[in-house]
Chains A and B, each alone.
Chain A
Amino acid sequence: MSVIPGMGLVRGMGLTLRRFFQPKATIMWPEQHADVAPKFRGRLQLLYDEYGTLKCETCFQCAQACPIECIDMGGVDTKGRFHVHWGPAETYGERREESALRRSGRPVADTAYERFAGIDVAPLDAILEAHDFDPGRMLRILEETQAEYGYLPVAALKHISRVTGAWYAQIYGTATSYRHLRFEPPAVEAPAAGTAQVAAEAGFRSALEASLGYGGRAG
């Protein structure tokens, strides 16, 4: 309660009047676009607070809101008893193993979790030391990491972030903006460019020309 009754009303009116004349915050989409960093890729990541505790409260709202159910969640309750999760049972790591065991009688590797698995960081540390832990030479570091591991494991990126002090988002952005860097091991060994592919193309080409009647002239 202020000294003069009604003073709060007057101050509130003054505030809105000042707002009335201030520059507006609206971004006139689609004519204007928000000023987003060009390397922003928008990867979801859980954050930790200053005590090292996960900030996620396991409210499941993100998983509930996700329209294509690409977010699923696993967690342990405060007494370490239950694994809670949202989404179809088969998409969740532990249940997936159980159902695979039940259906086929053998465990099935969960490829989605492989890339999050820990790695042996000794070769990575060697690479980083060679580059003097300099975040400015990130591209070289990433290329050599990929040469070492065959791809860029998430654990490696996190380790680089922790050691060099560069933001994870920045490293991730660098890695995603170059085509030759990849985040998963190549599925199949690509055939060497040349021989097989060229032969197949020549076969298609001659068949096409023959069907179009160019065969005589071209020959």
Chain B
Amino acid sequence: MSSISRSLGHVSPAGKVIIPLLVVVFVVAPILTVLVGAVIGPWLLDLLGSNLGIVRFLVAITGVLLFSIPAAFIIIYMELKVIAYMNLRVGPNRVGPAGAAHSVVAGLKVLSKEDFSPANADRFVFTWAPVLVFLTAVMTFLVIPFGPGYVDPATGERVGGLVGQDFNIGLLYLFAVGGMTVVGLLLAGWSSFNKYSLLGGLRSAAQMVSYEIPLTLSVVGLILLAGTMSLTEIAHQQEGWFTSWFVFRQPLGALIFFIAATAEANRTPFDLTEADSEIVAGFATEYSGMRFGFLFFAEYVNVFIVSALMVTLFFGSWNAPVNVNDILNQLHIAPITVDLDPGSLGVGLLLLVMAVPVALTLLFGLPFYLTRSRMPAWQAVVIGFVLFNVVAMGIAFLLAYIGLVWLAGVIWFFIKSFMFVFVFVWMRGTFPRVRIDHLMGFAWKWLLPAALLNLFLTATAIVVVKVLHP
């Protein structure tokens, strides 16, 4: 062992990483491959096949975890940049193109900080409170449908869908898990052994508990209309034109939900939990390093969740605002379908793949070469290649959009969600903070009665419609 360590001592730093990697690749990997392929593989496949629900859950939660980090990064960058633009500043512009890697580098910086906890802090709770906060944020992703499934032609049932788990009580689950955030914040404030942290935790608990009531009540009307709590079902009920979105049937509910959700996500003008420019950072006062990073991430993941919920419940989820098939029907054109079968071309496919890029590159470059006498041929070829790529990507994207229902759905879902994220950032760039007694008074004296009124009106309308059209 000592001879190995001694010889490793002569190796350059890069070699110290590469040589063990080579050992892993050439020695450990073949052994593992044989072992897995022959022995463990069939057994594992059998195990996975018989526990499909658990596998699906694990895959979903892994995907959601992997998705939440870049989403938070994007939103943080967006916030820096958009608010800077609204302040007539340029904002981050040094790291990456237009400063796009700024938030990622900030995240790396947070990772490299000391893992510090104050003396006399309750170490266990102090460590796990940010994890709880972050997990509740991530777990709410599980029931949000990102895209539609496809309709099985044999049975006529909807299959799949880009959703972690399609609960029939998805909305209830969402509010239940969302309510756990309060526990995490309280734990974080209490375990810091700092009375300011504790007060901050209590302050945020008071705010979030107060706003959870109008938040939940505002969607009860929607549930009455939809007749279901499954988010996928609610999304499917808003198909077609944008007039079928629930915002047009529940405008008051949507408004209350939006305001209460702003407070739930601790966004300006209701960011009293962490009023960074006025008072101590509330429950997060004693946190530093990656623990603070988790709290911070959770905040931005929450912004995305709130936007996604707003879209899912009131703004048509993954549905495009325009029903293209309906327009085509009106114009008596058959709906466009993409049914490519490249395999049927046989050897022709090979020729196509080889010849078309070259031919189109030359074709696109030719006009430039002919019209500009001073342009050398290679420049024209480069321009033609770039143009060909742009056109080919555009066509491929269009075909994918038409052919893959879920892709179109995901695109619309993200467009709408990030529009709402923009609105939240926009609001932060505009509004001053609400005073705490106004905050509580607004929740209890205005939002709660308004939510009850909305519920009452919706129920009355449903009864009236049922009486008139039995």
Chain A residues proximal to chain B, CB less than 8 Å? 9, 12-13, 15-17, 19-20, 22-26, 28
Top 8 nearest A-B pairs (CB, nearest first) are: A26-B90, A16-B430, A16-B86, A25-B88, A12-B430, A20-B85, A19-B86, A16-B429
**List of B residues within 8 angstroms of A25 by Cβ:** 88-89
Closest B residue by C-beta to A21 = B85
Q: Does B87 contact A (CB under 8 A)?
A: yes
Query: Can you list 19 A-B pairs with a CB-CB distance of less than 8 A?
Result: A13-B426, A13-B427, A13-B430, A15-B430, A16-B86, A16-B426, A16-B429, A16-B430, A17-B86, A19-B85, A19-B86, A20-B82, A20-B85, A20-B86, A24-B90, A25-B88, A26-B89, A26-B90, A28-B90
- Does B26 interact with chain A (Cβ within 8 Å)? no
Q: Is the CB of B89 within 8 A of A24?
A: yes
B378 within 8 A of A: no
Smallest CB separation, A181 vs chain B (Å): 42
* Residues of B in contact with A (beta carbons under 8 Å apart): 82, 85-90, 93, 426-427, 429-431
| CB contacts between A and B, total, < 8 Å | 34
Shortest CB-to-CB span from B98 to chain A, Å, is 12
- Cα distance, A26 to B431, chains bound together (Å): 23
Decide yes or no: A12 and B89 within 8 Å by CB, A17-B426, A20-B82 being known contacts: no
The CA of A20 and the CA of B423, in the complex, are separated in Å by 13
Q: Given known contacts A9-B430, A9-B431, what 14 new A-B pairs fall within 8 Å (CB)?
A: A12-B430, A13-B427, A16-B426, A16-B430, A17-B86, A17-B426, A19-B86, A19-B87, A20-B82, A23-B88, A24-B88, A24-B90, A26-B89, A28-B90
User: What CA separation (Å) do A16 and B430 show in the bound complex?
Assistant: 6
Query: Which residues does chain B contribute within 8 Å of A16, judged by CB atoms?
Result: 86, 426, 429-430
In the complex, what residues of A have CB within 8 A of residue B426's CB? 13, 16-17
Q: Is the interface of A mostly helix, strand, loop or mixed?
A: helix
Q: For the complex, give the distance between the alpha carbons of A20 and B88 in Å.
A: 7
- CB-contact partner of A19 in B88, B93, B427, B431, under 8 A: B88
Contact between A22 and B427, CB atoms less than 8 A apart: no
A12 CA to B85 CA in the complex, in Å? Answer: 15
Tell me the smallest distance from the CB of B430 to a CB of chain A, in Å: 4
Known A-B contacts A13-B426, A16-B426, A17-B426; A22 and B88 likewise in contact (beta carbons under 8 Å)? yes
Q: How far is the CA of A12 from the CA of B269 in the complex (A)?
A: 13
Task: Tell me, in angstroms, the Cα distance from A28 to B92 when the chains sit together.
Answer: 11
A24: chain B residues within 8 A (beta carbon): 85, 88-90
Residue of B whose beta carbon sits closest to that of A13: B430
Among residues of A, the one whose C-beta sits closest to the C-beta of B429 is A16
A22-B86 Cα distance, complex, nearest whole Å: 8
Q: How far is the CB of B431 from chain A (nearest CB, A)?
A: 7
Distance, CA A23 to CA B90, complexed state (A):
9
Please, how many angstroms separate the alpha-carbon atoms of A41 and B82 in the complex?
37
A20, A24, A25 pick with most chain B CB within 10 angstroms:
A20
**Given the complex of chains A and B, what is the CA–CA distance between A26 and B90 in angstroms?**
6
Distance in Å from the Cβ of B85 to the closest Cβ of chain A?
Answer: 5
Shortest C-beta distance, A94 to chain B (Å), equals 45
**Chain A residues closer than 8 Å to B93, beta-carbon distance:** 28
Contacts of A26 in B (CB 8 A): 88-90
The interface residues of chain A lying within 8 Å CB-to-CB of B82 are: 20
* Chain B residues near A13 (CB-CB < 8 A): 426-427, 430
- Closest A residue to B87 by beta carbon equals A19
- With a CB–CB cut-off of 8 A, which chain B residues contact A20? 82, 85-86
Question: Which among B85, B87, B430 has the highest number of chain A CB atoms within 10 Å?
Answer: B430
State the Cβ distance, B56 to closest chain A Cβ, in Å. Answer: 42
Complex CA gap A17/B427 in Å reads 10
Within the complex, the shortest CB–CB distance from B418 to chain A, in Å, comes to 15
